Amino acid sequence: MTYLISAGILLAFALVVFCVIKWWNLEVVGVTPVHLFTFIAILFTSGLDVGLIMFPLAWDFPLYADTATEPAYGFTNPLALEFGFWGFLIWGFYFLTSFYFCVIEPRVKFFEIPLVKWINNIVIIGTCAFTGALFLIYLPYYATFMGDGESVIPAFYVMTFLVILVAAFSSTDLKYVRVLSVGSTALFLVLILGMWAYSGMGLGAFADTAGNIGGYFANIHKFVLPLTDYHEFYLFWWFAWSIMIGQFTSRFVGGMKTWQVLAALLIFPSIPLGIWFSVLYYYYLNEIPTTLFINVSMLVVGMIFVVNSFDSLIRLYTDNLNLTVARLGRVPYVIGNAIVLFALTLAFQSQWLKIQWVGGVVIGLYVACLAYILVYKRKEVMAIKASPAENLLDFHKIETVH
């Protein structure tokens, strides 16, 4: 699996470089363009999930600090490692897929091939369920006011199902997705400010702690290929998300140049990530206990992140498969999606399914798509000079009105 993920990463980054050089100043416009802040909010909350909230303190920082067990982490500090696993360079995957679905796929239509469409939607559904499984598995560490802090109790299964149910309802209308994305981004920022204030770290201590992120940029080349099995798991996870997040968020790109889209995706999501991880790292270094209120606040934001992840992806695969609200009715649509995704969540939680398998399938889709273009659509793709005409027309009409 290590060879597979390494080859996939190198291919993806090579394609990023090619697209940026080839279409540097092309205006990228999706079918439903929005302003930059809304686009970044949708991307951030759709492209990240509950692991962002639950992993660092409960698992990641202690693991990265234990260099006796994992000497591969010894070249830098735990904060730089956490940032490297979640931020900056890794968002190049999302640039590649967002650009592809905005500009190239309308000419190629690879993902409209029936077999490819079915495989892609199985990937989307499976990755949704994996997100639910992570939420379920890590609930005991934050909902310490329930259970023993380690075991998954029946109440957690109920909470997970209700979160999936809310997400299924939210996916019934894109306005819910957009409002929830912007709202959850704001709540996440409030959580960061609240935890920063409670820690008493001040601006000076924050700056000193955040300075550890420099260890990532000084060693950025080491994060390209898997450092350990755990890093490999993260990379498969990012690959599993990449096509479907690009497919969903591409519709919201609002007229940026290609290089601006890349810069926006690398920089803007990395800023709140860096701030969040720096605050949590201060808690870890100083062994500051989290209060019940903080745990509940983190749990609530984590739940909203799960809803954000689920609703955008439910909307995506139901549109792709024509299992829409208009066709099925609101109640069958919501209940049907909730039941299917909860059943698959239990499959991931029991380790019957693994995210590495899903990521491997996505790498296969990358290779198959590239081969299809080279064999059948090379001239059409190399001749691209603009986003689809209908997208540009609608976008410039909106701009004229404003």
Does 173 score more than 80 pLDDT?
no
Judge whether 142 and 302 are in contact, CB under 8 Å.
yes
Token digits of residue 350: 């029991």
Confidence of residue 149 (pLDDT cuts 50, 70, 90): low
Q: What topology is assigned to 2-401 in CATH?
A: Hydantoin permease (1.10.4160)
Q: Measure CA 340 to chain center.
A: 21
Does 366 score more than 70 pLDDT?
yes
The pLDDT score that the predictor gives to residue 151 is 76
Four-point Cα dihedral 307, 199, 203, 219, nearest 10: -60
How far is residue 161 from each of residues 64, 169, 307, 334, 351, measured CA to CA in Å? 32, 12, 11, 12, 18
Confidence of residue 126 (pLDDT cuts 50, 70, 90): confident
How far is residue 237 from each of residues 334, 361, 362, 364, 375, measured CA to CA in Å? 26, 12, 10, 14, 29
pLDDT in tens, 268-308: 888 889 999 999 999 999 999 888 888 888 888 878 877 87
Confidence of residue 401 (pLDDT cuts 50, 70, 90): very low
Does 220 score more than 60 pLDDT?
yes
Lowest mean pLDDT among 24-38, 47-61, 162-176: 47-61
Does 96 score more than 50 pLDDT?
yes
Give Cβ neighbours of residue 3 (< 8 Å, ≥ 6 apart). none
pLDDT in tens, 47-67: 566 677 778 887 899 999 999
CB atoms within 10 A of CB 397: 10
pLDDT in tens, 301-332: 878 877 877 777 787 788 877 888 888 888 99
Q: Percent of the chain scored above 90 by pLDDT?
A: 33
Average pLDDT in the chain: 85
Lowest mean pLDDT among 205-214, 216-225, 245-254: 245-254
Question: Could you state, in order of their start, the residue ranges of all structural domains in the chain?
Answer: 2-401
| Higher-scoring residue by pLDDT: 28, 214 | 214
Confidence of residue 377 (pLDDT cuts 50, 70, 90): very high
Q: What is the pTM of this model?
A: 0.83
> How confident is the model over 226-238, as a mean pLDDT?
90
> How confident is the model over 340-369, as a mean pLDDT?
84
> How confident is the model over 19-39, as a mean pLDDT?
84
Does 402 score more than 50 pLDDT?
no
Helix (H, G, I), strand (E, B) or coil at 143: coil
